[in-house]
Amino acid sequence: MSKNQLLVFNSKGIYCKQANIYIDPWKPVNKAIITHGHADHSRYGHKHYLTHHKNVPIIKHRLGDISVEGVEWNQPFTINGVTFSLHPAGHIIGSSQVRVEYKGEVWVFTGDYKTEDDGLCTPYEVVKCHTFITECTFGLPAFKWKPQQQVFEEINTWWKENQSEGKTSVIFGYSLGKAQRLLKHLDTSIGKIYTHGAVENMTEVVRPLVDLPPTELITRETKKEELLGNMVVAPPSTHGSPWIKKMVPYVTATSSGWMAFRGARRRRAIDRGFVLSDHCDWGGLLASIKATEAERVICTHGYTDIFSKYLREIGYDASIENTDYEGEREEVTPTAETVS
């Protein structure tokens, strides 16, 4: 086996032939290493799942009764001579990069990742390698994130303003990942945080793993008067649904990397857009690639053509592989609640 083919991209996913195992496959397989719990990376139907132990309760919640084994970060395990280990990706709780080593050749697959410490999940760790398989959802120089502290100041200020106008604040975030990041950094001295069922259920699942403020589930009995001035965290799919009518008078916001674009912020449907992403920005991608000391870079999803062209120009052996990963979908679309 050529060392250039330690991992291949076939019709089912990223495949290691030597170990006969897939990473984040999009079609059902026997054995799958899973980077994180978002639906485009952890799909139904595999016979056996292997993932970081923090991700175990998450994918069990999502996929039901599956055969899954949890491992710790930086704990190598060997399959037919191939050494695998998981390393924090900083994307969402329990998200990992996968390091694959065979006869001295090292490949790393990032899954989804971000370099900023979000104060919630274990921060991204640089893993040195020869070939780095990276996402590039926001692989354009137009994407530069502000420090999250600044963004949360904006969000909390917005909450206070809405409160002073006697309105309920509704912020949309995917129930796994963005919702918990919001919960972690909302200023609970302003008011109470209410949740939609999908957010509440997923938050319950991760509560044993992280420290989060108390939340209150919105039920049939919840009166709209008690919501006034408080914050509601809900999945994007609830936007425009009858469920949300209960909040009147309310103001809506969404938080996503796409909000960096004026066109996205000005969407008719949402009152405010905050630029906050669980993926790397341009600088984050370039810095992490450099830090891995990789010579070869494979771009899987996002602005792959543009990003890989730039990488080649600055001296990397960069190419593109097509996958079924979707990166950060624009929030509040009819197909919401699938990925982030």
Indicate the residue among 8 and 142 with the shorter CB distance to another protein. Answer: 142
Other Cβ atoms within 10 Å of 220 Cβ, number:
5
Indicate the residue among 113 and 250 with the shorter CB distance to Zn ion. Answer: 113
Give the helix/strand (H/E) hosting 34: strand 31-34
Residue 38 near Zn ion by CB under 5 A: yes
Residue 112 near Zn ion by CB under 5 A: yes
Q: Could you tell which of another protein, Zn ion, none binds residue 38, using a CB distance below 5 to 8 A set by kind? A: Zn ion
Q: State the residue for tokens 């914050």.
A: 231
Q: What is the largest CA-CA distance in the chain?
A: 67
Q: What number of chain residues touch another protein (CB under 8 A)?
A: 32
Residue 151 near another protein by CB under 8 A: no
**Amino acid letter, 148:** Q
CA dist 272 and 214 (Å) reads 25
Q: Strand 77-79 to strand 31-34: parallel, antiparallel, or no bridges (unpaired)?
A: unpaired
Among residues 303, 311, 339, 340, the one that binds another protein under rule CB under 8 A: 303
Residue 12 near another protein by CB under 8 A: no
Residue 240 near another protein by CB under 8 A: no
Listed in sequence order, the DSSP H helices in 101-171 are 148-164
Residue 272 near another protein by CB under 8 A: yes
Interaction with another protein in 72-131: which residues (CB under 8 A)? Answer: none
Least Cβ distance, residue 288 to another protein (angstroms): 18
Other Cβ atoms within 10 Å of 192 Cβ, number:
15
Indicate the residue among 230 and 256 with the shorter CB distance to another protein. Answer: 256
Burial class of residue 129, CB neighbours in 10 A (0-12, 13-18, 19+) = buried
**Torsion 192-186-118-233 (CA) sign:** positive
Among residues 210, 261, 291, 321, the one that binds another protein under rule CB under 8 A: 261
Residues found near another protein in the complex (CB under 8 A): 137, 140-144, 258, 260-268, 271-273, 303, 305-306, 309-310, 313, 322, 327, 329-330, 333-335
